[in-house]
Amino acid sequence: MKIVIIGSGYVGLTTGVCLAYLGNRVTLLDPDTRKIEQLQKGIVPFYEPGLTEILHKASNNLEYIDGWDDFDTMSDIVMIAVGTPPKSTGEADLSIVEEVAGSLGARITEAANPIIVNKSTVPIGTAAWVKNIVEQNLRRRGINKAVHVASNPEFLREGEALADTFYPDRIVIGVSSQFAGEVLCALYQPLAEQAFELPYRVSRPAGSKSPPTIMVTTPTNSELIKYVANSFLAVKISFINEFANFTERMGGDILEVAKGIGLDPRIGPRFLNAGIGWGGSCFGKDTGSVIFTGEQYDCEMQLLRAAIDVNYRQRELVIKKLKTHLRALRGRTIGMLGLAFKPNTDDLRDAPALDIIRLLNQEGAHVKAYDPVAMNACRTQYPSLQTEYCATAEKLFEGCHAVVLVTEWREFLNLPYPELGKRMAVQLIIDGRNVLAGHRLHESGFHYCGVGRRDERWEKGYLSPVELVL
């Protein structure tokens, strides 16, 4: 099919590259000329493992344009994948979507019949709203016709974007015409049949479903599914974090508790990793947008409000833990092991690291940071953070009174901790992602402190688990 994708951020670019790889002719349209120039040279403007390789493989099917002049109105599908950032009220800002809908209405010809697809996460009713804008603009040009606008939300995770796109659990298509449903089902047929071969190994996500379900529903349900899915995941993480704090007080271990409850298929083991909570561009924005919409319709979203509170409290808990061990933080040196909101990305949007650094700055602590890919982004996007960026993990540990593991990069699992500990002023590690739990760091002299984990005295052998249970 001939597809135009408006917006070449994470969602637009990944979707475009993957659809091109599957044999479609894809044009990516983005007004950011610099980004388009980079893409034309084969450079992906953000960090996403494997995307560059697939982009090169699919390059014959890919075209990049930075304006509407070359827009092909005879395309089969036009996907809107532009940003919908939150306003200060939590409301999603739809101004870019509105602009795109206006541009489409100013260009679609009498003969053209593209399916317009909302890929961006947008408030309920946006498919109908976009349809109105496009049709109004067409009428102004004397074209009286109905356009097809569908909702087809994206469920990919940053850092796992290729695996999630090629091996999705489900594809949700919200349409109000049979024609639109048929075209979109045909588009995704290769994914439904898993009829493709990848140039190198992209692992199927653990526990994913094969083949995926293609669900065809109304645009409203489809728009809801996206928000409800992200809200559920956000609540699930805050739920385990709430119990992490409870478990810690009770002298238990949240890793064992999560394993135990996750064995129940009604609960499931995924997204039960306790720690410093969620970050990123989606959960905070989407939960905020749902709360805002709820307020407009007299529907208080209490559970979501609580989930948000719990999430941001987890960041403050890091400071509390540091204070418990080090007392005053003024003049102390604290190392941030990781900055990105999760591994395999350089994305810092709503990253817990940012709040933790801000709080440490306020306390008068000296902050050092190391992240394998996100340091440049942090330096340029958040210049007001007072941070000493370190070239290596080894340099980070030098002179620290504590190191906080913020992002669970794979390389952090295999650092030479006993050696690094010797470089520290105080051997204290706050493991914000509970990934060093099995490393027996106490044996090399560390005070190890996870989130929701049994008392460190147990690790040190001062107490037996039996004593703790008693």
Q: Are 42 and 54 spatial neighbours (Cβ–Cβ below 8 Å)?
A: no
Please name the residue that has the structure tokens 């388009």. Answer: 36
Residue 199: CB partners within 8 Å, gap ≥ 6? 53, 54, 57
CA 190, CA 381: separation in Å to the nearest integer? Answer: 39
- Min separation Cβ 235 and ligand UGA, Å: 12
Q: Which is nearer to ligand UGA, 106 or 303 (CB)?
A: 303
Residue 31 DSSP SS3: coil
Question: Which residues bind to ligand UGA, rule: CB under 6 A?
Answer: 121, 154-158, 230, 233, 237, 271-273, 275, 277-280, 282-283, 341-342
Residue 249: CB partners within 8 Å, gap ≥ 6? none
Q: Which is nearer to ligand UGA, 149 or 307 (CB)?
A: 307
**Residue 299 annotated among the catalytic residues of the structure:** no
Please name the residue that has the structure tokens 């394993």. Answer: 259
Burial of 389 (0-12, 13-18, 19+ CB in 10 A): middle
- Min separation Cβ 463 and ligand UGA, Å: 28
Among the options 18, 185, 282, 378, which is catalytic? Answer: 282
Q: Which is nearer to ligand UGA, 138 or 237 (CB)?
A: 237
Burial of 373 (0-12, 13-18, 19+ CB in 10 A): middle
Strands (E), 30-131: 62-65, 77-80, 115-118
- Min separation Cβ 156 and ligand UGA, Å: 5
- Min separation Cβ 217 and ligand UGA, Å: 18
Q: Which is nearer to ligand UGA, 104 or 339 (CB)?
A: 339
Question: In DSSP terms, which residues pair with 26 in a beta bridge?
Answer: 3, 62
Q: Which is nearer to ligand UGA, 230 or 333 (CB)?
A: 230
Which token pair is 396? 């980070």
- Min separation Cβ 421 and ligand UGA, Å: 25
Please name the residue that has the structure tokens 């498919």. Answer: 127
Which token pair is 226? 């996206």
- Min separation Cβ 233 and ligand UGA, Å: 6
Residue 247 DSSP SS3: helix
Q: Which is nearer to ligand UGA, 147 or 449 (CB)?
A: 449
Which residues have a catalytic role annotated? 282
